[in-house]
Every structure is written in C-alpha cells, then in structure tokens.
C-alpha cells in the first residue's frame, strides 16, 4: 500500500511549511533516508529525507506553495501502484508565499535580465504559472514580449524576497509596529580579559578544547546576569508576560542566505568553555545549512555581535516574543584617563534593546551595570 508523505511539524511552533524544491521526480525510485524535498519553515530551509523506499508515485505539493502541517505532499509506493485521487484545490491554506504570483521568482529574474514582460508569457506550470522554462522558451523562439520601460523609478533588477530574507522581513515588519523598542548602551573595558587571553590562551585551549574569545565571555556573563534579572528573560505571549524557566541564548550568525539565530540551551548552567564549543558547533552547522528546527527554537534572549565586521555600536531589533536582545560592537584600543595619566584601554560598546511593555529602563540599566562588572573582572567566569 502506498505511503503518504505529509508536511511534518519541524519544530514546536511550526504550523505551515513552503515547498522549496523536490529533489526526486515522479516515477523515480528513492531509498529510505535519501533526500526527497526541501521545506521552508518559519525559521529556515530544511532538507527532508524519504521515510520509506519505493517509487515517487505522485507529488501533490506544488513548489512555492504553502501547506498546513499534516497535509499530504506526495505518495511513495511500488511501481504501478494506484493511489487515491488527489486533486489540489487552491485555497487560503495552499497559497503561494508571494500572495499568488503568476510568475515563479526564478522566472521573474530571468525575464528581468532580458527585459521581458513575464506576465505576458504563456505559463505551463501548475495553475498556469510562468516557469523559468516558459521564459527561456519565449527568448529562444523570439516571441518574448518586451517589457514596457517604467520611467517613474530608476532602472535596476527586481529581486523577489525569498527564503530567510522573506522570513526576516515578515517578522520585523510585524514586530516593529507592535513592540515599543527602547535601547540603552554601556561602555565596557575588556583590557583585563585581553591580557588574560594572551597569557592563558594555550591553557584554555587544553582545558576547554576551544579558544575563548570576547563573544564567549559576553555570552557566559549574559546568561548569569539574566538569572539575577528575570524580568529580561521574558516574552510577550498572548497579551501577557511569560517568565521563562530556562535561560536559552539565541546567537545571531551571518550566513550567505541571511541571518539565523541558533540557540544555546540552558546557557546559565554551562561553563564558558561549553558555551564556546556549542557556539562553534552551531556556527558550522549554520554555514552548512544543517541546523535542525529544534536548534532554532526556544531562545529566551538574543545576542548579536557585529564587532567582527568593524561596527562600533548598533541598536539591535527584538526577536519576538523575546523581551531583550544585546548588540555587541568591536573592541578598540583607545586612550583613557587613569587618575592623572592617560593609558590605553580595550573598550567596546554594548547596546541592550528591550520591549518597554515588559520592563522599564532602570532595571535594564542595572542589568547592564552587572554585566559590565562581570566582564571587566572576568576571573569568576574563566575559572
């Protein structure tokens, strides 16, 4: 009997998923565990393997369309096996992510490069959608309709939002108009840590199995400070304040596809070395597109570091429903007064953005002060 392949819940909060690509065509054989389909969740794109071996009898999930968790996307069985009639009827739950565009994103990009009116090309895809092949055929045949020049805007390539960039745009647009963002900054002296790093780097490598950097120190100090400031380790959920029982740090990582925020779980219970190893493992998986949905869920507070890109300071945007996010700038050696003398100090600016519905400015200032104290005298975190 043929097996139904359904849209799986790839994370606790996932309700729908978008079909990005089928890696096997109808009629082809597939082994259990072989890559079958790529699904875009609300957090990332996940490669999904076939649960069984057999022949891909029928695909009913359309590329670029969105489906509820539990809906049938395909049938896998023996060659020649019959399956129930699966008529795909478009409705609000099976909608194109881009609100029903008649042209696929890749077809639109090809048309734009050649100055073609893609909307005037005859489509042969599902529901008459214009595919890349349709546009290429029109170009090759010389029948491609030329796009009328729009003089109201400067010339340029129109790139549809897709993947992580689309998800980011949707979340930020929805959150920015709802959560009142307020930011506070503080200057932190990392001179003592930098001196320790020169002296103890080899010892840290042997002890922790990973080199320690300022970002690891900040994550460890943040996790401990959140225990003493639980009002920051909260979220705005269903019109109420949710006080989280765990301190799970979301760590922003820049990859080619955009920004992902994997989670270091129970960070307050980890040593600085364990945090360092975990972050490096997550970063490798992120750049190889191997993060699982569970590794991207459950953060109670986020940290974003742009210091490595030469940024002095910035005001990060909240990741809903979290109450707070910490932005880290670069460490710079600058002159400062020590009594009547001028000395060189290694300074960086940390900026905390918080949801003013959940917490006021004064407790956030106290959080930053405690964080600075721990970072400037870091022995307790490094032992």
State both tokens at 88.
């795909």
- Sequence-ordered list of residues with C-beta below 8 angstroms from that of 244, at least 6 positions apart, any chain: 233, 234, 235, 300
Rounded Cα gap, residues 254 and 306, in angstroms: 10
Find the helix or strand (DSSP H, E) in which 284 lies.
Answer: helix 272-287
SS3 call for 158: coil
356 in catalytic set: yes
12 in catalytic set: no
Of the residues 31, 268, 356, 383, only one is catalytic, namely 356
Rounded Cα gap, residues 290 and 265, in angstroms: 18
What one-character DSSP code corresponds to residue 316? P
| Residues 17 and 65 sit within 8 Å (Cβ to Cβ) | no
Of the residues 31, 78, 294, 360, only one is catalytic, namely 360
Strands 249-251 vs 263-264: parallel, antiparallel or unpaired: antiparallel
Q: Catalytic site residues?
A: 356, 360
């Amino acid at each position: 009997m043929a097996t139904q392949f359904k849209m799986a819940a790839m994370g606790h909060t996932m309700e729908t998923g978008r079909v990005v690509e089928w890696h096997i065509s109808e009629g082809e054989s597939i082994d259990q565990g072989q890559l079958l389909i790529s699904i875009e969740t609300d957090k990332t794109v996940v490669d999904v393997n076939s649960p069984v071996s057999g022949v891909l009898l029928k695909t009913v999930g359309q590329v670029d369309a969105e489906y509820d968790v539990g809906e049938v996307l395909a049938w896998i069985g023996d060659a020649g096996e019959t399956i129930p009639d699966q008529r795909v009827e478009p409705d609000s739950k099976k909608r194109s992510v881009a609100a029903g565009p008649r042209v696929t994103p890749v077809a639109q990009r090809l048309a734009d490069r050649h100055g073609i009116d893609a909307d005037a090309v005859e489509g042969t895809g599902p529901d008459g959608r214009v595919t890349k092949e349709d546009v290429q055929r029109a170009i090759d045949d010389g029948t491609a309709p030329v796009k009328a020049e729009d003089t109201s805007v400067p010339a340029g390539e129109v790139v549809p939002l897709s993947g992580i960039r689309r998800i980011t745009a949707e979340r930020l647009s929805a959150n920015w108009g709802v959560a009142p963002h307020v930011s506070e900054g503080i200057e932190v002296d990392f001179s003592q840590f930098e001196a320790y790093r020169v002296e103890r780097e080899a010892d840290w490598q042997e002890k922790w199995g990973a080199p320690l950097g300022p970002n690891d120190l900040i994550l460890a100090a943040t996790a401990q400070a959140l225990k003493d400031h639980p009002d920051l380790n909260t979220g705005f959920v269903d019109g109420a304040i949710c006080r989280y029982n765990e301190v799970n740090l979301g760590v922003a990582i820049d990859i080619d596809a955009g920004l992902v925020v994997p989670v270091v779980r129970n960070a307050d219970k980890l040593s600085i070395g364990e945090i360092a190893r975990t972050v490096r493992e997550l970063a490798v998986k992120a750049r190889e597109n191997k993060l699982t949905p569970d590794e991207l869920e459950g953060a109670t507070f986020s940290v974003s570091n742009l210091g490595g890109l030469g940024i002095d300071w910035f005001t990060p945007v909240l990741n809903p429903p979290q109450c707070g996010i910490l932005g880290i700038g670069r460490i710079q050696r600058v002159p400062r007064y020590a009594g009547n003398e001028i000395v060189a100090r290694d300074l960086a600016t940390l900026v905390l953005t918080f949801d003013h519905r959940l917490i006021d400015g004064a407790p956030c200032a106290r959080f930053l002060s405690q964080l600075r104290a721990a970072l400037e005298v870091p022995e307790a975190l490094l032992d």
